[in-house]
Amino acid sequence: MAVKKASLKEKYRLMTRGLDWETTYQPMDKVFPYDKYEGIKIKDWDKWEDPFRLTMDAYWKYQAEKERKLYAILDSFSQNNGQLNLSDARYLTAIKLWMQGITPLEYAAHRGFSHVGRQFRGAGARVACQMQALDELRHAQTQMHAFSHYNKYFSGFHQANHMRDRAWYLSIPKSFFEDAMTAGPFEFVTSISFAFEYVLTNLLFMPFVSGAAYNGDVATTTFGFSAQSDESRHMTLGLEVVKFVLEQHEDNVPIMQRYIDKWFWRGYRLLALVGTMMDYMLPKKVMSWAEAWGVYWEENGLALFNDLSRYGIRLPKYHEIATKEKLHITHQAWMVFYTACPATAFHAWLPQPYEMDWLSEKYGETFDRFYRPRFEKFGDLEKAGKRFYTNRLPLVCQTCQIPDFFTEVDNPMKQAVRHSEWRGMKFNFCSDGCKDIFVNEPEKFCQAYIPPQQIYQGNAGGARTLAEYAAWLRCGMGTESGDYYSSDDYANWLKWHGERDTTPSSSAAAQP
Amino acid sequence: MGMVTIGAYDFPPADRIENYGGDINLYCCWEHHLLVPCPAAYRLPPDITLRDFLEQMFKPDHDHHPEMKLLDYAKLRWTLDSKPWQPALDKSLRDNGVTHMSYLSFYQPGLDGIAGSGV
Ligand SMILES: [Fe+2]
Ligand SMILES: [Fe+2]
Ligand SMILES: [Zn+2]
């Protein structure tokens, strides 16, 4: 008997929605208990447009092919000692931060999408979340594999899991994702799929992958290309979710607006770390944070929200603050890393003269007036043999968990801080954006695990000072931690290059 | 607006004062001096005087700063939780109304950091 083969479209329909049914032994509300409590009203799940249109068997085939190519390149990279062709070993600070801070987020995304992939009663949404869950698990694994080669030659890669639950700077990405994962399913997809993957992802992915390419990191560049097609599916999902929910019921608009406000601000705060990578960690620069913000937010982001205005959605609250801050935050964040690097599992350093020139060129008066004097003062202290490290724990924002290095947008000399009281207790924040998020959900954010406060309460092995805390992190000065130019990484780098310092000496070499 | 949850949701704040063994947490910032890039956190007993706190804890953290020797307590303009405030230096933190998680800042007119750059 001749078997008629289904077309791709038909096959997709049969394998996704065709497998779905209305439950009868148990009411649907009991089978899907979480997709109504947020107040989001869905009248017709069939209106969901599937963004992926991929069946499971096609997915496996396609991804297996990509991974074969990826692992072939990773093998040849390690067999040919690819680490020696990096622009400079300073570059690896970016990759260490990625391995410690972002790779665990890929895994957290896998868990989050697995969870909501069970919770939506619409089959189309469930299938999309399931596939993204698989993508994210692959991203975590392939990143670890791509970076593992560096672990043989450099410090700071070997204990990402130990660091993740303890390091102050990793509580920033960790708490970001835990906030999303403990929210309702609609807030989760708005936060991760829309705000992060759709609106802000270009600010994360583009600089990371091009930065790797410019700095000779073939392993990471190849990972980036292998994840690119996944990312474009994730972006499609993010936009589809938001449009679908907004079209379903007008009561959904204010709820979605609050989610967008919250997650734009949280995502933007998290990206301060990426901006710092672009401006300070890459020996060969790709573009500045301010330029990236201009292209990806001020042009593309604003255009997107123009489109969304027909649904009654306005621009995210405080977006204009983010734009004003673009000239400051990366310099301020690098100051924190420079002064606190005895307690980080990566190295920091003073910008080289060619980098100071590049920063002046990109940031003009802002850099020369406010930030150059600090670096020059630190340079003087270094020359006098008194390299400055801070020994005090900082105020950390109750919401975003970033040490509060922010200043007022109209006065970069003035420390920014905001306060709120709840049930008789005081809480402090870096910004109005973070304060608003707390005021909407104090029951949640009062539980935040703020590293300096945990240290003072005795929950970091009894440490009271930054040095005792670093020991508890298993970070040693010169190995995992401290200034790059007094590190083992630097000493080894010189040895492997016949004592030749590869630090680029002009920004001309850095142009793409 | 309260939180929307799937059930009863009530947990104590992680940094409640009971967890500090009789001490309090205090934040302090010297305005226009950002070489130490964030306001600092201190765990300390509430009956320490403000002067002792400044002399024993705050000043040593900033001793690398060239303007430290110009600091004059009589000229400081204080805020408590970002509101103008007139403390008594020889009174305890408690008697000055400083409580757990309070944020102090002071500014001395004329001291605007290295090259007037706020650091
Ligand atoms: Fe991913
Ligand atoms: Fe993704
Ligand atoms: Zn914050």
Residues A197-238 pLDDT 10s? 988 888 888 888 899 999 999 999 999 999 988 998 999 899
Query: From CA B102, how far away is CA A170, in angstroms rounded?
Result: 25
pLDDT band at A450 (very low <50, low <70, confident <90, very high): very high
pLDDT above 70 as % of chain A: 98
**pLDDT tens track for A330-360:** 999 999 999 999 999 999 999 999 999 999 9
Rg of the Cα atoms in chain A: 24
Cβ-based contacts of B61 with chain A (< 8 Å): 390-392
For B118, the closest chain A residue by CA position comes to: A413
For residue A504, what pLDDT is reported? 75
pLDDT in tens, chain B (119 residues): 578 999 999 999 999 999 999 999 999 999 999 989 999 999 999 999 999 999 999 999 888 899 999 999 999 999 999 999 999 999 999 999 999 999 999 999 999 998 888 98
SS3 category, A289: helix
> Can you tell me the distance from the alpha carbon of A371 to that of A418, in angstroms, rounded to the nearest whole number?
24
Q: Could you please report the per-residue DSSP string of A406-443?
A: -EETTEEEEEP-EEEEETTEEEEESSHHHHHHHHH-HH
Task: Quote the pLDDT of residue A193.
Answer: 94
Q: What percent of chain A has pLDDT over 90?
A: 83
Cβ distance B31 to A415 less than 8 Å, yes or no, reads yes
User: A171: part of which helix (H) or strand (E)?
Assistant: helix A171-181
* In the predicted structure, residue A6 carries a pLDDT above the cut 70: yes
Cα gap A112→A385, rounded to integer Å: 48
pLDDT at A161 over 80: yes
For this complex, say whether ipTM is above 0.90: yes
A7 confidence band (pLDDT: 50, 70, 90): confident
d(CA B25, CA B17): 8
Ligand 3 centroid to Cα of residue A115, in Å, is 27
Whole-number pLDDT of residue A508: 46
- The first and second tokens of residue A347, run together, are 């190295």
Neighbours of ion ligand 3 (CB under 5 A): A 397, 399-400, 430, 434
Q: What is the mean pLDDT of residues A275-296?
A: 95
Level-2 CATH architecture, domain A45-348+390-497: Orthogonal Bundle (1.10)
Q: Examine the pLDDT at A500 and tell me if it is beyond 90.
A: no
Q: Which ligand is nearest to the Cα of residue A321, counting in written order?
A: 3
- Judged by CB atoms closer than 8 Å, whether chains meet at B3 and A444 is answered as yes
Contacts of B29 in chain A (CB under 8 A): 395, 415, 417
Tell me which of B15, B32, B44 to substitute to probe the interface with A (most A C-beta atoms closer than 10 Å).
Answer: B15
Pairing of strands B102-107, B24-30: parallel
Say if CB B78 and CB B51 are below 8 A apart.
Answer: no
The pLDDT value given to residue A206: 82
Q: In terms of Cα–Cα distance, which of B34, B47, B37 is closest to A402?
A: B37
pLDDT tens for each residue of A259-270:
999 999 999 999
Say yes or no for a CB contact (<8 Å) between A414 and B13: no
pLDDT over 60 at A509, yes or no:
no
Q: Domain segments of chain A: what residues?
A: 45-348+390-497
- What integer is the mean pLDDT of A171-183? 96
Which residues of chain A are within 8 Å of residue B25 when distances are taken between CB atoms? Answer: 453, 456
With 70 as the cut, is the pLDDT of residue A510 above it?
Answer: no
Q: What is the DSSP letter of A399?
A: T
Of A37, A396, A426, the CB nearest to B102: A426
B118 contacts A426? CB cut-off 8 A: no
Please work out, in degrees rounded to the nearest 5, the angle formed at the alpha carbon of residue A235 by the alpha carbons of A230 and A239: 150
Average pLDDT across chain A, whole number: 93
CB interface of B with A, residues 61-80, below 8 Å = 61, 64
Q: Is A251 on the interface with B (CB under 8 A)?
A: no
Q: What is the mean pLDDT of residues A275-280?
A: 95
Q: In this complex, is the C-beta atom of B45 within 8 Å of any C-beta atom belonging to chain A?
A: no
Structure tokens at A401: 């968990």
A261 touches chain B (CB under 8 A): no
